[in-house]
Amino acid sequence: MDTTESKRQKFARIFPARVQKIRDQLRILGNCSSKSNYEWDQTKVETFFALILKEIVTLAKSFGVPVTAQVSSKDIELY
C-alpha cells in the first residue's frame, strides 16, 4: 500500500470531523451572546476572541495557509 495515500486517506477521514466538532463548539459558545440570559465585559470577550483567533492563525500557518485576523481593528499578533 502507498504510504502517502494511506496518510491522505487518514487525513480525509479525520480532518472534516474535527472541523465540524470545532464549528459545533463555536455555535454553542455563541449561545453566550444572548443578552436575555447573560451579561458580559466587552474587554474580556475581545480578549477571549483574540486568544481563539491567535490559535486559528497559528494553526493555519502550520498548514501553509496565510491568515490574518483582527479584533476591534487591532491585528492579532503571534508571539
**Domain limits at 77?**
40-79
Nearest to 76 by CA among 50, 56, 52: 50
Q: What pLDDT, on the 0 to 100 scale, is given for residue 4?
A: 75
The answer to whether residues 79 and 44 belong to one domain is: yes
Q: What pLDDT, on the 0 to 100 scale, is given for residue 59?
A: 96
The answer to whether residues 47 and 76 belong to one domain is: yes
The answer to whether residues 44 and 79 belong to one domain is: yes
Q: What pLDDT, on the 0 to 100 scale, is given for residue 5?
A: 82
pTM of the complete model:
0.83
The answer to whether residues 48 and 71 belong to one domain is: yes
pLDDT > 80? residue 33: yes
Domains: count for the chain: 2
Q: Predicted confidence band at 78 (pLDDT cuts at 50, 70, 90)?
A: low
The answer to whether residues 54 and 29 belong to one domain is: no
The answer to whether residues 21 and 56 belong to one domain is: no
Average pLDDT over residues 35-53: 96
Distance CA 41, CA 6 (A): 48
Q: What pLDDT, on the 0 to 100 scale, is given for residue 34?
A: 97
What are the residue ranges of helices labelled H in 1-77? 3-30, 42-62
